[in-house]
Amino acid sequence: MIIPDSLLETAHMSESELRQEIAILLYQKERITLAQASRFAEMGRLPFQHLLASRGIPVHYGIEDFQQDLDTLRRLGRL
């Protein structure tokens, strides 16, 4: 995704901030999962959850999120 510099300048945002805003919006509308949103925002899941909490946005943790967490734990050898 290429974001024109002129858009970032007009919005007074960095590319990172814009990615976070898009991720928050899509997550809040339940269009993407927590894992997808945190990846899109280029943040770890926990920092992204803290960002959501700072905005008063509740975390919805669904089956897909649970499965991704299990897959990660298996891959790390913690299960």
- Is residue 25 domain-resident? yes
Residue-range definition of the domain harbouring residue 18:
9-75
Quote the CA–CA distance of 75 and 79 in Å, as a whole number.
Answer: 8
- Is residue 64 domain-resident? yes
Q: Is 62 helix (H, G, I), strand (E, B) or coil?
A: coil
pTM over 0.85? The answer is no
Residue 57 has pLDDT above 90, yes or no: yes
Residue 62 has pLDDT above 80, yes or no: no
- Is residue 63 domain-resident? yes
How remote is the C-alpha of 24 from its chain's centroid? 6
- Is residue 2 domain-resident? no
Q: How confident is the model at residue 38 (pLDDT cuts 50, 70, 90)?
A: very high
Q: How many domains does the chain have?
A: 1
Residue 7 has pLDDT above 80, yes or no: yes
- Is residue 27 domain-resident? yes
- Is residue 4 domain-resident? no
